[in-house]
Amino acid sequence: MTDTEGWFAGIDAGDAAAAAERVRDGTAERPDDWPARAVGTGAVADEDEYYDRLREATLSATAKAVDEAERADDQQLVHAVRAMDDCERTANELAERVAEWAGALFEDAGTGVDGALELAGRDPSGPAEQRVVSLAERVEGVVDERDALREYVERQAGVVAPNLAAMAGPVLAARLIALAGGLESLAKMPSGTVQVLGAEDALFAHLRGHASSPKHGVIYTHEYVRGTDPDHRGSASRALAGKLTIAARVDHYSGERKPELDAELDERIAAIRARGDGE
């Protein structure tokens, strides 16, 4: 779109895709009475037709933008890590059922996922045992899928966010991206928000006056937080969140690998642990 043409000038009335492209990419230096201009140039018969075409083009442009966003590499990573966690949760829940049932049928039945995996290889001797073994095989299948998803996440995280994956580890990087809703959203977050991602319940309880402010969320799983003395985990969490935020921004806006970010974090954590006065 230009200052002299308007949205639909030179576009066939039935070409919704071309109209949507104008809506997505068109610009003008200043506002104008575009409906009247469209009627005057013969692009549409009247203003009602203009708004009908604008609505159709806008919906088409939005649908295309949503489709592109959903197919983006970071969204595939989000789906994968969420599916991996779903498989983990499902396997544990099914394994509990297997253990409870198998305990009534097998004297040496184990517990947990490992117990279910042991049962999956047995030869059942009756209808009840057959059902338990079959259920244990389902646990085995879910565990296999979980492991396959983890392998995908570990490969893909380094492609989508090389600095974040190197600094946080691929699985934690994927979880942060998932919690934020995407790499772009994560890159736009302040470090204080990144620090408590995954601790929303505790944060809301704090805001209601029912609990202290959380020092960390899912980043607690990082060794630099978990492995730091409890008295200084707040400082470690802030340092880690700050560097993760920078890493996410570099990944989103340039994608260039910057090993110096890792070194800066290593030095900061070493200083916190050595001095013991980070708080």
Weakest mean pLDDT among 78-82, 194-198, 215-219: 215-219
- Quick one: average pLDDT of 27-48? 72
Residue 23 pLDDT greater than 70, yes or no: no
DSSP 105-152: T-TT---HHHHHHHHTT----SHHHHHHHHHHHHHHHHHHHHHHHHHH
pLDDT at 216: 79
Residue 118 pLDDT greater than 50, yes or no: yes
Phi, psi dihedrals of residue 28, rounded to the nearest 5°: -150, 145
Residue 203 or 86, more confident = 86
Question: How far apart (Å, rounded) are the C-alpha atoms in residues 63 and 71?
Answer: 12
What's the pLDDT tens digit per position in 145-157? 999 999 999 999 9
- Fold of the domain spanning 72-160: Helix Hairpins (1.10.287)
Reported confidence tier of residue 71, pLDDT bands at 50, 70, 90: very low
Residue 7 pLDDT greater than 70, yes or no: no
- Quick one: average pLDDT of 243-256? 94
Model pTM score: 0.72
- Quick one: average pLDDT of 170-191? 95
Residue 32 or 244, more confident = 244
- Quick one: average pLDDT of 206-221? 72
Question: Could you tell me what percent of the chain has a pLDDT over 90?
Answer: 59
Contact 83, 175 (CB under 8 A): no
Please list, in sequence order, all residues whose beta carbon lies within 8 angstroms of the beta carbon of residue 72, skipping any fewer than 6 positions away: 182
3-state DSSP assignment of residue 61? helix
**Residue (of 231, 232, 245) closest to 195 by Cα position:** 245
Residue 2 pLDDT greater than 60, yes or no: no
pLDDT at 263: 95
Reported confidence tier of residue 66, pLDDT bands at 50, 70, 90: low
- Quick one: average pLDDT of 17-24? 66
Question: How far apart (Å, rounded) are the C-alpha atoms in residues 218 and 215?
Answer: 11
Residue 215 pLDDT greater than 90, yes or no: no
- Fold of the domain spanning 161-279: Serum Albumin; Chain A, Domain 1 (1.10.246)
pLDDT at 35: 75
Reported confidence tier of residue 160, pLDDT bands at 50, 70, 90: very high
Residue 176 or 54, more confident = 176
**Where exactly are the structural domains of the chain?**
16-71, 72-160, 161-279
Mean pLDDT of the chain: 84
Residue 51 or 34, more confident = 51
Contact 243, 264 (CB under 8 A): yes
The 8-class DSSP code of residue 199 comes to: -
Q: Which two tokens stand for residue 258?
A: 């910057």
